[in-house]
Structure 1
Amino acid sequence: MKSLNEYFEELRSLDQHNIGSWPLYAYVLAIAVVSLTIMGIGTWYFVLPKQDTLAEAREQESELKQRFEIKQRQVANLDAYRDQLETMEAQFGELLQQLPSRTEVPSLLNDISKTRIASGLEEELFKPRPEEMRDFYAVLPNDLIVTGGYHELGRFVSGVAALSRIVTIGDVEIEPLRDENGRTGELRMSMTANTYRYLEEDGATTESSGDTP
């Protein structure tokens, strides 16, 4: 059996121009070296440059998956959004129904006065101020001063809040009533009672045209 050195010496002495005379092991070894060389060159020139492209494709795939998941959640929540929108529209419709028209405002102011009387309060001032226009409604502030006991004032505020039309009370100031002998045990409450009315299309048009000189 040949030693390893003898194999090396035999490989060195091979005639490159007469491959047919090579021993079988040398021929197989040469084919293996050539194959590995071709594979290495192919990997260097063709496979490695594709790695960056493959990484970009994987990143794009991840982004597309995220977008798809977001769209999927949006579609899943679409029915919930629609239900919420319908609820909001219904609530908005109910709110509009609580806003009186121009012709109903005097009746609402009368209801406030009736609530004051029913609460046992005396009226010192009830003075409507000019309307304040908003997008689809107008605010009608009313300066109001009433006098009476603590519990009567509480009943009045609760009664106004319970009216079928929307009335908000602000700028509240309460002070004790005094006479020559000192306190009388009654209170004076000044406030702004804001009523609201819906701007009908014809009414809004009339007011807008009325502002034009």
Structure 2
Amino acid sequence: MKSSLAEGARNRTLAAGVLLPVAVLAAFRLLFVEPQTDLLAMRRVELEQRRGEVARARLAASRLPQLEAEVSRLRRRLAILHRGMPEAQDASAVLRSLQEVAVRSRLTMQSFALDETRPGEGYEEWPVRLEVTGGFHELASFLDAVSGLPRIVTIDRLSIRALPSGKPNSTIAATCIATTYVLREPVDGVDAVRGEGRLRR
């Protein structure tokens, strides 16, 4: 019986000797390895996200020269358009140039009146109601000269009527709306050509 007790104690010691390291390993895995494995998995997901962000940033960076070229092209085009649209203080000069073009085209200016301005986004339309008399060829010369002005001027609502015979150089009367476009002044003195800043309303 003594030997069976000793053998039972030895088996229990042996079982405890085997189970204790297994329990320690299980506890170590549960407390240290699995959290680190979860942390490692989270880090891998973050790494993949960062790699995706880097790939998108590289793609954007590769397109940057084309975008800069496009911005430069648009700025040049805006500068050209800016030359075609006077600022408010230049509008009277454009209106005078319409009258000068009529005189050079040998038309007689009967009336010349500024209609109510119409606001646009960053500009205003300044319609001018014109009435001229002269001949068909002179009117065609006037319209051609207006299209060649350095400033943008459009002609709308052109109406032509015959005049009673009497004056050989004055066979028609024409009325139209000549509209010039005027840039609004930029706020805080910011350059409107560069497209920076906000425009006054």
TM bucket by the smaller chain? 0.5 to 0.7
How far off is 1:178 after superposition? 2.2
> In structure 1, the residue corresponding to 2:86 is in which secondary structure?
coil
For residue 165 of structure 1, give the secondary structure of its aligned residue in structure 2.
Answer: coil
Structure 1 residue 165 and structure 2 residue 136: aligned?
A: no
Alignment of 1:1-213 (within 5 A): 79-179=65-165, 186-201=171-186, 205=200, 208=201
Superposition deviation, residue 201 in structure 1 = 2.7
Aligned-pair identity (%): 23
Is the CA contact (8 Å cut-off) linking 2:128 and 2:178 kept in structure 1?
Answer: yes
Contact 2:133 2:170 in 1 (8 A): no
- Alpha-carbon separation, structure 2, partners of 1:202 and 1:81: 27
Q: If you compute each CA radius of gyration, which structure gives the higher value, 1 or 2?
A: 1
Q: Which runs of 5+ in 1 are unaligned?
A: 1-67, 209-213
Cα deviation, 1:145-192, whole Å, max 9, x if unaligned, reads: 11111110111111111112111111111222225x8x9871221110
Please state how far the C-alpha of 1:125 moved relative to its aligned partner. Answer: 1.7
Distance 1:104 1:78 in 2: 38
Counterpart amino acid of residue 134 in structure 2:
G
Structure with more contact order per residue of length (Cα contacts < 8 Å, sep ≥ 6): 2
Question: 2: distance between equivalents of 1:132 and 1:143?
Answer: 14
Measured in 2, the distance between the counterparts of 1:76 and 1:202 equals 35
Which amino acid in the other structure matches residue 183 of structure 2?
Y
Q: What TM-score does the superposition give when structure 2 sets the normalisation length?
A: 0.57
The whole-number CA distance in structure 1 between the counterparts of 2:85 and 2:174 is 26
Q: Is the CA contact 1:128–1:141 (under 8 Å) kept in the aligned structure 2?
A: yes
